[in-house]
Amino acid sequence: MSENMKMMPNDIEVEKALICSILIDEDYNEKLRDINLKSDSFYANEHKIIFEAVQKLQSDGSNVDPLTLNATLKSMGKLNDIGGAAYIAELLGAVPTSANIRYYAQIVESKHTLRSIIGISTTTIEDAYSETIDAKDLLDRASSDLFLLSEQRSQTAPEKIDNAVISTVKQIEEWSKRTGSVSGIPTGYSEIDEYTSGWQKSALIVLAARPGMGKTQFALNLTMNACKLGAKHSIGYFSLEMSKNELVLRLLSMETGIPMQSLKKGRLSTNDWGRIPIAMKRLSDMNLYIDDSSSLNILDLRTKCRRLKKDKNIDMVIVDYLGLMETESGVERHEGISRISRALKGLARELEVPVLVLSQLNREVEKRPDKRPIPSDLRDSGAIEQDADLVMFIMRPEVYKIKDSEGNEQKGISEIIIGKQRSGPTGICKLFFDKNTLQFVELESNPEYQDMG
């Protein structure tokens, strides 16, 4: 058989065995509840038609057996299309029992997935040869189609509550053994930890602000704290805006206490040069994995995160930032961001790690006298607010020349506003931002703030 005439993946005998098992097992639906079977899952056309009839019986609340199947196919006008009642009788002899029904269903669904991959690949190859579609658009479409196929295969079934009760109590027992209020990954700031109990597994966390407020820098502070405090967690950091070298330059300034501008100009004292090797060693010892791809879609991100989880067992993912991620071609920006947001939440749950994503705010916040953001200010999509388990904002009063209640300037003050928290309180935490070393520190530990007070 030539290359162009290869048979599509299928197993007709297994399809027969599956249909036979469905017809003789009244509990088949329960046994296959987590397998995403559709009529298209079958290769043989007669089997597609038979499964359509099975689904119709299900939706009507009727039992599925040879007699009801025969009657339904007749009412659909498709009994002769499958070979008549004789073919149904033939199917009943495919297997003696339904003991292997799940095994048959998994094979049928696997073959269908392979055919779907071939279909997507074939269409992509044909369009690539024709050169009628822009290469980037074609790549986006192929990635989107494969991602959608993968999502369709991900299906969970309802479970009785007893297992969830046991696992939840076990989690509470684990938390009770810890000292302090942090049950997740520490943020490094006691007041924020008090509100959040740290970054929690499977949570989607959004950190948003207007440009110039220090989103990236605060994210880097959070990254350093997670890598260095407690269990010294592993972090996957995806930077779509800055290169690895730019990020490391900022991390060096934070670790050495040498002003950023001094590092960039190379104007360092002998003492400064002495600090750098120590900082290099500390940074190199962190389990921090940086990806600075400027072009990244959700499929690429998910693939890279899965690999990092498998190879490095990362504890957290940080994405800087949402607005720079590529959306599907031909999709409105609003809808594209919504899909990315939902996929990020799915990624957090799949890997069981917190996912922190940075986002921008629209200009509505500038119209308020206090300039404090609210969740509806999130740019591009309301889905971000809905999908997020925790939404935080950064607001620096001095940028807007806002004074405190006593009329004093708020130099260096940064408000970390917890605007939404699905499982906890909202509120405002105040930190001090050192613009020279790019560090966010707690007010009580900052001499400059104490002098101001």
- Catalytic sites, residue numbers: 241
Which ranges in 33-100 belong to alpha helices (H)? 45-60, 66-75, 84-91
Task: Map tokens 């939706």 to a residue.
Answer: 59
Compute the distance between CA of residue 417 and CA of residue 429 in angstroms, rounded to an integer. 6
Asked if residue 344 lies in contact with residue 319, where contact means CB atoms within 8 angstroms, the answer is yes
Asked if residue 287 lies in contact with residue 227, where contact means CB atoms within 8 angstroms, the answer is yes
State how far the alpha carbon of 170 is from the alpha carbons of 197, 198, 387, in Å: 17, 19, 27
What long-range pairs does 217-220 form, CB within 8 A, spacing at least 24?
217/250, 217/433, 217/438, 217/440, 218/394, 218/414, 218/416, 218/440, 219/318, 219/320, 219/356, 219/358, 220/247, 220/250, 220/251, 220/254, 220/438
Q: Which two tokens stand for residue 381?
A: 């999509």
- Which residues 6+ apart lie within 8 Å of 170 measured at CB? none
Element (H, E) at 307: helix 298-312
